[in-house]
């Protein structure tokens, strides 16, 4: 019986526990052996070179002040008046057009960037043309 192996074999034995990765990380952090560097654009397929952020570079090279176009005050007032004529709150109008109430609020305080699709949805929900300044019913 020399071919027999009488050594004890354990199944489902748990491996010996050592330091967890979190504790190793914290120990290295305490000792000061840890270095970190911020990598811009990691995991992307940009070919602008290491550490280059193209949008930041373009902004740095720009010297002109840009004005972002917002909703005209006249359109904001027309939206507000049409909504009040219908007896709706901003939340009700937002629900009717499928947007958040903040979008309607931004339009009424002339702070939103105009989106023709949203304006068209408001016109349909309110039943009034808003863009040309005349308060006549929208076409059906």
Distances (CA, A) of 28 to 19, 32, 33, 39, 112: 12, 6, 5, 21, 49
Per-residue pLDDT of the chain (140 residues; tens, 9 = 90+): 677 888 887 787 676 677 788 888 888 888 888 777 777 666 776 655 555 566 777 777 777 777 888 999 999 999 999 999 999 999 999 999 999 999 999 999 999 999 999 999 999 999 999 987 555 555 55
User: What does CATH list as the number for 73-126?
Assistant: 1.10.260.40
- The pTM for the full model equals 0.52
% helix, strand, coil for the chain, step of 5: 45, 0, 55
CA dihedral sign, ordered 71, 74, 79, 80 = positive
Separation CA 108–CA 114 (nearest Å): 11
Domain positions in the chain are 73-126
* Residue 126 · residue 86 · CB < 8 Å: yes
Separation CA 120–CA 20 (nearest Å): 58
């Amino acid at each position: 019986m020399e071919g027999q192996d009488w050594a004890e074999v354990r199944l489902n034995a748990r491996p010996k526990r050592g330091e967890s990765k979190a504790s190793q990380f914290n120990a290295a952090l305490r000792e000061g052996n840890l270095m970190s560097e911020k990598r811009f654009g990691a995991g992307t397929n940009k070919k602008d070179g290491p550490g280059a952020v193209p949008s930041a570079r373009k902004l740095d090279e720009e010297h002109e002040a840009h004005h972002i176009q917002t909703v005209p005050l006249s359109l904001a007032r027309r939206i507000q008046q049409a909504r009040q004529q219908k007896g709706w709150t901003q939340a009700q109008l937002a629900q009717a057009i499928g947007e958040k109430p903040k979008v309607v609020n931004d339009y009424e305080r002339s702070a939103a960037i105009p989106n023709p699709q949203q304006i068209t949805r408001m016109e349909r929900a309110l039943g009034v043309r808003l863009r040309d300044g005349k308060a006549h019913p929208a076409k059906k």
